[in-house]
Amino acid sequence: MSRQLHPVQERLLDLLAKNIDDPLTVREIREVLNVSSTSVVAHHLAQLEKKGHLKRNPGNPRDYQVLHAGEKQVAYLNLYGLVSCRPRGSILDDPPIDRIPIGTRLLSFPSSDAFMVKARGDSMLPRISAGDLVIARKTKLAGSGRIVVCVNDGEALIKQVQKEGRGWILCSLNPAYPRFLASRDFRIIGEAKGIISRL
């Protein structure tokens, strides 16, 4: 850990990293670290952010990212098209069609986990239009109701997923398109985290 960090900040950063999947409240952090008040926790959180070790969502204190050393202010994210894939393949296996610069402060997760896809069609209207750029975080898992980038029967899609029994139902936001059962060759490759509109 960096020598410029106060011992409490070192322990706090380690605690945040260990609990990133189930973030603690400020009160819980205060109890674990055994510090005098929540304002002391808030001070050290602000210092970690100022020193470039932490990135927080100002609208949600439990949404944060522990930054790896050397995280740059601008990251170039690979942009992929929604194209057909070979069996058991992924659009991420193909060369990107472009690399788009994004300020890392806009991401609530490490930029190394991020990629972008260019949306097509109107099935995800009104939220996502054809030509919009969707920022996604690489993952093979997603909760029911999440919007994901996925491959279904060799076709790359952006869909809302609903867990049903042991399978998945793929849903469009546009009511003109019916829901359908995911095929046996269905894989989630990323969860949508942001949209850059073409308008």
The tens digit of pLDDT for each residue in 145-168 reads: 999 999 999 899 999 999 998 899
Residues of the chain with CATH 1.10.10.10: 7-66
CATH architecture of 7-66: Orthogonal Bundle (1.10)
- Averaged pLDDT of the chain: 88
Q: Which residues contact 66 (CB under 8 A, 6 or more apart)?
A: 13, 16, 17, 20, 53, 54
CB count, 10 Å around CB of 25?
12
Q: Which residues contact 74 (CB under 8 A, 6 or more apart)?
A: 101, 102, 103, 104
Residues of the chain with CATH 2.10.109.10: 74-196
| Superfamily, domain 74-196 | Umud Fragment, subunit A (2.10.109.10)
120 confidence band (pLDDT: 50, 70, 90): very high
Q: Are strands 133-138 and 180-181 parallel, antiparallel or unpaired?
A: unpaired
pLDDT digits (tens, 9 = 90+) for 47-100: 998 888 888 877 677 777 787 655 567 888 999 988 766 667 788 888 899 999
Long-range contacts made by residues 62-70, C-beta under 8 angstroms, separation at least 24? Answer: 62/23, 62/24, 62/25, 63/23, 63/108, 64/16, 64/20, 64/23, 64/108, 65/20, 65/107, 65/108, 65/109, 65/110, 66/13, 66/16, 66/17, 66/20, 67/110, 68/110, 68/112, 69/2
Query: How many contiguous H segments (helices) and E segments (strands) does the chain have?
Result: 3, 11
Q: How far is CA 145 from CA 65, 142, 172, 186, in A?
A: 23, 8, 11, 16
Structure tokens at 1: 């850990």
Burial tier of 24 (Cβ tally within 10 Å: 0-12, 13-18, 19+) = middle
Least confident span in 57-61, 89-93, 128-132, 184-188: 57-61
* CA 131 to centroid of chain Cα atoms: 20
Predicted pLDDT at 92: 87
